[in-house]
Amino acid sequence: MSDLSAADTGTHTEPGEPGASGSGSDRTLWGDVRYELVRNPVFWFSAVLVVVIMLMAFFPQLFASTSPNASGACQLQNARVTPTWDKPFGYTAAGCDMWSSLVYGTGKSVIVAILVTIGIVIIGVISGTAAGWYGGFTDTVISRITDVFFGLPFILGALVFLAIFPVRNIYTISAVLIVFGWTSITRVMRGSVISTKQRDYVDAARALGAGDLFIIRKHILANSIAPVIVLATISLGSVIGAEATLTFLGVGYQRPTVSWGLLVNEGQTLALAGFPHLLVYPCAFIVITVLAFILLGDVLRDALDPRTR
């Protein structure tokens, strides 16, 4: 087994493949990805947005001094007050500072997105790897189960299941979204594993006596995970949009929780009554956040797939 070090460990590159450099420099696949990312201004733009969003989610006190749920933070006389020079975001329908509500609402959406993405990646990678590597009966069973879940409408299915729960919080919302969201990553991982297991370095590892788990851990995952990383990054934005949609429809977060979806729900009926800021600002935060993750995913896709350049 000591000869296994001679086999490819997931960073092997050949001319014309990812990681090969036309200038003659010896870069690995991930070195090539880093090289492409740092030269791309869209990457820096989206990365900065994502970093700011994450800071808002986990350290909201850096951006807003008072939580909307703090005692005395919301005053009824301030309800629906439109933006002014000293308060450019105005106040919510409940008299809370709109900026503080948006900042503290970031965490609820982002935490759900992170939990859901981790869950669907774990399920998708395990099931997709098993289907792609073992094939046969295992592939048939996993593929048919995937097809069944693909046939269930994502938002409608989540809407029905969440309506069953009397209390809807981070964990129940995340669990339902995971149940309906793992299928895409499973299919992508399955196809990537089927392609990777036909490579010469996998045959070499088998010839040297490596077992299935060793090959999967050292070779298959290392060379098949790139499309999953891209899809997971894009999924972060998609989950944020899905959570806001479900909350807007009344089956997501509930008061006194502060959430972008709740702000949109409260502002929809008042926007045309002379208070557009109640709808515009929450929608803008959702759109910018989703766009940031989608842009980051697109940049990662281009860097990981040289054929798109």
Instruction: Decide if 201 contacts 219 (C-beta within 8 A).
Output: yes
User: Which of 110, 124, 133 has its CA nearest to residue 50?
Assistant: 110
- Domain assignment present for residue 116? The answer is yes
User: Which of 136, 119, 114, 129 minimizes the C-alpha distance to 188?
Assistant: 129
Question: What local confidence, expressed as pLDDT, does residue 68 receive?
Answer: 84
Is 80 inside a domain boundary? yes
The pLDDT of residue 175 is 92
Write the pLDDT tens digit of every residue in 105-147. 999 899 999 999 999 999 999 999 999 999 889 999 999 999 9
Structural domain includes residue 9: no
- Report yes or no on 249 lying in a domain: yes
Range of the domain at 132: 26-308
**Percentage of the chain exceeding pLDDT 70:** 89
Q: Which residue has the tokens 């939580």?
A: 67
- What integer pLDDT is reported at residue 30 of this predicted model? 67
CA Rg value for the chain: 23
Instruction: Tell me whether residue 20 is in a domain.
Output: no
Residues of the chain with pLDDT under 70: 1-30, 305-309
pLDDT at 4: 42
Note the pLDDT tens digit of each residue in 81-99.
Answer: 888 888 889 888 888 889 9
Q: Does any domain span residue 257?
A: yes
Q: How many C-beta atoms lie closer than 10 Å to residue 251's C-beta?
A: 21
Buried b or exposed e, range 137-159, using 16+ CB within 10 angstroms: eebeebeeebeeeeeeebeebbb
Query: Does residue 11 form part of some domain?
Result: no
The tokens for 159 are: 């809407």
Q: How far apart are CA 100 and CA 102, in angstroms?
A: 5
State the burial class of residue 46 (Cβ atoms within 10 Å of its Cβ: 0-12, 13-18, 19+): buried
The pLDDT value given to residue 33: 77
- pTM for this prediction: 0.82
Task: Assess if residue 14 is contained within a domain.
Answer: no
The CATH code of the domain that includes 120 is 1.10.3720.10
Domain count, the chain: 1
Residue 307 is predicted with a pLDDT of: 58
Residue 26: its pLDDT value, please?
57
